């Protein structure tokens, strides 16, 4: 396929796999709007304006909790990235879009319509369940009669799935992700130290000195606003302080994984024990998270290095490998007629 593209629209990042040059475009799924409907900036440039922009510039995230919340903004940005970054020609292209499993058919159709309702019509538009694409992107053969457990921690959601024989045995979409950890850090710093910080600062703390266990003595200097005086102050934050802010959420996440494990049929559970849990998504980068999962579940955890790109790599396989092409399916438009 000379003109084909795999698209993964996450809450945090938009990823596009370009089949012609085998490259992955990865940009922040953020758009800056002026005059209510004019695009001012998108991607990393727009994200740099988040929490800093004046009232005249609205910075928004078109995908919230795994579903499209701002259709027009998402479509504008997607077409711009395809044209400028991927150098894509939409006319006559083959498109495969990743969609979460536990969302409604109407919400799935919104993903489909992003590419279907354009001037330059694509030749074919197919959807693929995200957990299946995740597993394919990690080079796992999902056609085998073997149980595979995938935990994808995104920005707003965590999708826990058990796959066997190319199908979903169990799947659960949790309203929890990296953004919720950032919010918990913001809340903790305000409650405990009277320090008001932004979410971008909280994310920086999490990524640089955060971890799933206490006792981390690494530190980082940040600037926030003192709640009492109202003035900006500088403060030294340790990894232990960041852990305290996140520990309740991390425990809840692991307990949810444990609860889903309890529902897995015995024969598939045996496979999961032998092969381990596959941890992916941007949130999987948190230090010591795999060790924490193992401690709670007593099952080894495999972490994929570039976890945020596994879905889009799997979509590339759907588009190029006959062994996996059946996992891309067309939307049944008659449902909505």
Question: Residues for the chain: how many in total?
Answer: 337
Kindly tell me if the per-residue pLDDT of 230 is higher than 90. Answer: yes
Counting beta carbons within 10 angstroms of the beta carbon of residue 134, is it exposed (0 to 12), middle (13 to 18) or buried (19 or more)? Answer: buried
Let me know if domain 144-176+250-305 sits in CATH 3.90.660.10: no
For 254-258, the CB contacts below 8 A with 24+ separation are 254/292, 254/293, 254/296, 254/297, 255/296, 256/158, 256/160, 256/172, 256/174, 256/176, 257/151, 257/160, 257/293, 257/296, 257/297, 258/296, 258/297
Domains 4-27+67-133+310-336 and 144-176+250-305 share a fold: yes
pTM, entire model: 0.93
- What fold, for 178-246? Actin; Chain A, domain 4 (3.90.640)
Contacts of 333 (CB under 8 A, 6+ apart): none
For 29-55, what is the mean pLDDT?
93
User: Which numeric CATH code is attached to 4-27+67-133+310-336?
Assistant: 3.30.420.40
- The pLDDT-based confidence of 120 (bands split at 50, 70, 90) is confident
| Amino acid 337: pLDDT | 36
pLDDT band at 305 (very low <50, low <70, confident <90, very high): confident
Residues forming beta bridges with residue 54, ordered by sequence position: none
CB atoms within 10 A of CB 21: 7
What number is the average pLDDT over the span 12-25? 95
Which pLDDT tens digit goes with each residue over 130-144? 999 999 999 999 999
Asked if pLDDT for residue 186 goes beyond 60, the answer is yes
């Amino acid at each position: 396929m000379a003109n084909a593209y795999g698209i993964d629209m996450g809450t945090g990042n938009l990823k596009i796999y370009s089949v012609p040059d085998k490259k992955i475009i990865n940009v922040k799924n953020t758009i800056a709007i002026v005059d209510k409907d004019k695009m001012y900036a998108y991607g990393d440039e727009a994200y740099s304006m988040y929490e800093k922009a004046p009232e005249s510039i609205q910075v928004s995230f078109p995908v919230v909790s795994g579903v499209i919340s701002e259709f027009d903004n998402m479509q504008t940005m997607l077409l711009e990235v395809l044209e400028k970054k991927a150098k894509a020609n939409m006319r006559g292209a083959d498109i495969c879009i990743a969609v979460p499993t536990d969302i409604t058919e109407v919400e799935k159709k919104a993903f489909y319509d992003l590419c279907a309702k354009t001037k330059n019509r694509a030749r074919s538009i197919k959807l693929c369940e995200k957990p299946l694409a995740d597993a394919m992107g990690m080079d796992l053969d999902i056609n085998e009669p073997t149980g595979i457990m995938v935990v994808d921690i995104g920005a707003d959601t965590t999708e826990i799935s058990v796959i066997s024989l190319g199908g979903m045995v169990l799947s659960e979409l949790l309203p929890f992700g990296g953004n919720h950890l950032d919010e918990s850090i913001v809340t903790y710093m305000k409650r405990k130290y009277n320090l008001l910080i932004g979410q971008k600062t909280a994310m920086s703390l999490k990524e640089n000195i955060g971890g799933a266990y206490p006792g981390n003595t690494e530190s980082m200097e940040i600037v926030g606003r003192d709640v009492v005086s109202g003035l900006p102050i500088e403060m030294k934050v340790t990894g232990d302080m960041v852990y305290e802010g996140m520990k309740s959420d991390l425990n809840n996440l692991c307990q949810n994984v444990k609860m889903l494990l309890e529902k897995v049929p015995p024969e598939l559970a045996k496979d999961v024990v032998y092969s381990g849990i596959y941890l992916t998504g941007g949130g999987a980068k948190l230090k010591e998270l795999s060790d924490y999962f193992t401690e709670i579940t007593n099952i080894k955890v495999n972490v994929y290095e570039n976890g945020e790109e596994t879905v889009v790599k799997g979509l590339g396989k759907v588009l190029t490998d006959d062994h996996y092409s059946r996992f891309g399916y067309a939307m049944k438009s008659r449902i909505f007629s």
